[in-house]
Amino acid sequence: MADLSAFPITRRWPPRNPSVIQLYSLPTPNGQKVSIALEESGLPYEAHRVSFDANDQFTPEFLSLNPNNKIPAIIDPDGPGGRPLPLFESGAILLYLAEKTGRLVPADPWDRWQVVQWLMFQMGGIGPMFGQVGFFHRFAGREIEDPRPRQRYYDEARRLLRVLEGRLEGRDWIAGDYSIADIAICPWLRTLRDFYQAGEQVGWHELSRVPAWLDRFLARPAVQRGLAIPAAA
């Protein structure tokens, strides 16, 4: 059995089975990306809930794994060369899981880079911009009287959605077959529409391909399981 005692985070969240991947997360869009990828890949794992309400992400144990105090993060006890691998940043974790399993990313280099570029599109655009929409539309940013910051992020989210709408012409998935690119983007689409409830502000109902894509994604059994991981305490 693997020994993960060298990782301080395991003292706060003791593994039940240290031989499987340890996931430290919450069911936010970034967290859901990794739990869905794990469910899709079939890799055994344990999920540990990092409570923002309890400020778990600022504890020394969590910071020892991710100094950037963000979820998700993982430890794979069977990393490259058989060494335990700690890893943070959801995009990096998606790439790692895809390479480890040979699933959710194409083997052909040309096709692989199509997937990687759309993963980067999510990391650099969709995630940060949709997150700002949430802040200004649903959370504390609503109290800011100046409408310009709010409108800036509405407009940018609208633009990004139309990039996706154009890309999906004649396609079921964003980069060929179903891949980590879809897994990266679609949880943010769901959050924008359902949790932030900003569909009207970003022109959601003017779209046709993006909503249909999200519906295809949400119909997958592994996606349905992954959206609720880690379970509430």
The structural domains of the chain, with segments of one domain joined by +, span 9-104, 109-220
Instruction: In whole angstroms, give the CA distance from residue 209 to residue 200.
Output: 17
3.90.600.10, 3.30.720.200, 1.10.3720.10, 1.20.1050.10: CATH of 109-220: 1.20.1050.10
- Which residues, including other chains, have CB under 8 Å from residue 58's CB and lie 6 or more apart? 69
Confidence (pTM):
0.96
CATH 3.40.30.10 fits 9-104, yes or no: yes
What pLDDT score does 141 carry?
A: 84
- Which pLDDT does position 203 carry in this prediction? 97
123 φ, ψ to 5°?
A: -65, -40
- Cβ–Cβ under 8 Å, residues 12 and 1: no
pLDDT tens digit sequence for 86-143: 999 999 999 999 999 999 999 999 999 999 999 999 999 999 999 999 999 998 888 8
Secondary structure, 3-state, the chain: CCCCCCCCHHHHCCCCCCCCEEEEECCCHHHHHHHHHHHHHCCCEEEEECCCCCCHHHCHHHHCCCCCCCCCEEEECCCHHHCCEEEECHHHHHHHHHHHHCCCCCCCHHHHHHHHHHHHHHHHHHHHHHHHHHHHHCCHHHHCCCHHHHHHHHHHHHHHHHHHHHHCCCCCCCCCCCCHHHHHHHHHHHHHHHHCCCHHHHCHHHCCHHHHHHHHHHCCHHHHHHCCCCCCC
Residues 214, 63: Cα–Cα separation, whole Å: 34
CA-closest candidate to residue 76, choices 61, 92, 60: 92
pLDDT tens digit at each of 233 positions of the chain: 688 999 999 999 999 999 999 999 999 999 999 999 999 999 999 999 999 999 999 999 999 999 999 999 999 999 999 999 999 999 999 999 999 999 999 999 999 999 999 999 999 999 999 999 999 999 888 888 889 999 999 999 999 999 999 999 999 999 999 999 999 999 999 999 999 999 999 999 999 999 999 999 999 999 999 999 998 86
pLDDT of the residue at 144: 87
- pLDDT score at 121: 98
